[in-house]
Amino acid sequence: MVESTNIMHCDLDAFFASVEQLDNPSLRGKPVVVGGSIHSRGVVSTCSYEARKFGIRSAMPVAQAYRLCPRAVFLPVNMQRYLEISKQVFTILSRYSPIMEVISIDEAFLDISGCFRLFGSPEKIGCLIKEQVYSELGLTISVGISYNKFLAKLASDMDKPDGLCIITESQALKILRPLPVSKIWGVGEKTEQRLNKLGIKTIGDIQDLPPGWLEDKIGSAGRLFWELAHGIDKRAVEPEHERKSIGREETFPEDINDIVYLEKLIVQFAAELCRKLRQEGLLAGSVTIKLRDSNFKTITRSKTITPCNSDIIVTRIASDLLHHSYKNKQPLRLFGLSLGHLSPVTSLEQGSLFESQSNADYKAIDQLMDEIRDRFGPGAINRASLLPDKDIK
């Protein structure tokens, strides 16, 4: 009997750090940490494999990463560049299957069920994807192949970096058995501790339990964990997965209450997010700001708007929200801006009866700025409000 291995998980290796090493070859072979300066209170977004040898990992505070490896190269997140490369990677993946579910900026699932006659075996398809991502973009990508999403994702992580791993149905239980429970999709640190207290440390421990035992102990998630431990995952690859919002936030090196700086941050974030919306043909129907003070108290304020993708409109609305909600000038450690209720651009955009200016009023300006950035780079043109004060005459 031929075993089905029709689900593929593709995961770029150390993506942000790899792009930085691609753009600056002098960084190759060096420990690279992407996430901010050593004086920031941010966290590591991605680090190169050279940095991981020192114990650095994603989500670790940048300051801790510096203590582990002071000679590492610390770089800020260049999201616009990463999005540009990500789009090119997904274009390559889409050549091999129309059924693609993008999970994040650097990973996606493919259902390759109907693609074998065109491209060959699952292993052949994986090799073709790896070869094209490297030859066209200079990046490595790890590919996992199995008969469901959970095992395909697990497989892609088993042979990193630049790996290709296949888990068949007959191999699944044996491969899963010795792995720690943290390898189960959805088991985080707290859940792992809870399972450990029940005497469950490996996936094999769950395999040995009756189907309902774990569900009785920890609720409905127990049934899901039992199924995954037995290689059962019924979720399909969903290509029409809708993104509901996009956002940007910044954790400050020191608490601030500088309203002028916050306004500039709004302009910067709005420009980045709205450019992304325009690139993807989307409009935002809501604007939300997030404020977190030095005591970790977090407040959010939102406004529903006529759908738009103009950073001028988003900047004005976010600034109004800031001035109405930030009156006590309590020092902040974090500020964020997000755009929600996303919808596709249609040929006819409905204007607003209650707003003096609409998305269409700024469409020509936005289009011109996008064209300049596409041709000369993201820093070729900016709003005057983003210039340093000394540059404003």
Which residues are catalytically annotated? 107
Closest CA to 113 of 237, 243, 281, 255: 237
Whether 29 contacts 49, CB under 8 Å: no
Closest CA to 193 of 184, 181, 179: 181
C-alpha distances in Å from residue 16, one per residue of 39, 64, 102, 262, 371 = 20, 19, 17, 26, 25
Rg (alpha carbons) of the chain, rounded to whole number? 24
C-alpha distances in Å from residue 293, one per residue of 332, 335, 376 = 4, 9, 38
C-alpha distances in Å from residue 192, one per residue of 224, 225, 379 = 14, 11, 45
Asked if the bond preceding 161 is cis, omega within 30° of 0, the reply is yes
Q: Residue 243 carries which DSSP code?
A: P
C-alpha distances in Å from residue 102, one per residue of 19, 159, 227, 334 = 19, 21, 24, 28
Closest CA to 245 of 336, 355, 347, 109: 336
C-alpha distances in Å from residue 195, one per residue of 151, 176, 208, 233, 363 = 21, 17, 14, 20, 54
Whether 235 contacts 152, CB under 8 Å: no
Which residues pair with residue 349 across a beta bridge?
Answer: none
Give 366-389 as a DSSP string: HHHHHHHHHHH-TTS---GGGS-G
C-alpha distances in Å from residue 23, one per residue of 26, 137, 172, 192 = 9, 11, 39, 39
